[in-house]
Amino acid sequence: MANTFKQISKAGVTSSDVIYTVAGSTTTVVIGLIIGNTQSSDITVTLTLSTDTGSRSGANNEDNQPVELLTSTTIPANSSLELLAGNKIVLETTDVINLTASAAADISISVMEIT
């Protein structure tokens, strides 16, 4: 198995936008996620993790469901929000991170892909 570190970034996100999709035969560990507001006024953002990963075995035999990691969260003018701060999120094949913002937002995600 190969471990590859990658950085994904997108500037000026204003509507619902897919930021990252896990490739086939890949597990991804999100190790950092920052959303920036370069506007002169506050903005709100919603960050969604969409997943259709199938059933698990044993006591955890339930399909994953899409969740909002941030819901209409305010980011003050000219500032940023670090979401993970030392924590990690594991993503599986076809999982998607989506960002929606009320005005232009920048996002940077650091990941390790395991193939």
Could you read off the pLDDT tens digit of each residue along the chain, which spans 115 residues?
899 999 999 999 999 999 999 999 999 999 999 999 999 999 999 999 998 776 666 676 777 888 999 999 999 999 999 999 889 999 999 999 999 999 999 999 999 999 9
CATH topology of domain 3-114: Jelly Rolls (2.60.120)
- Which residues have CB under 8 Å from 85's CB, separation 6+? none
Residue 30 structure tokens: 């999100």
Distance CA(34)–CA(97), nearest Å, equals 13
Domain boundaries, the chain: 3-114
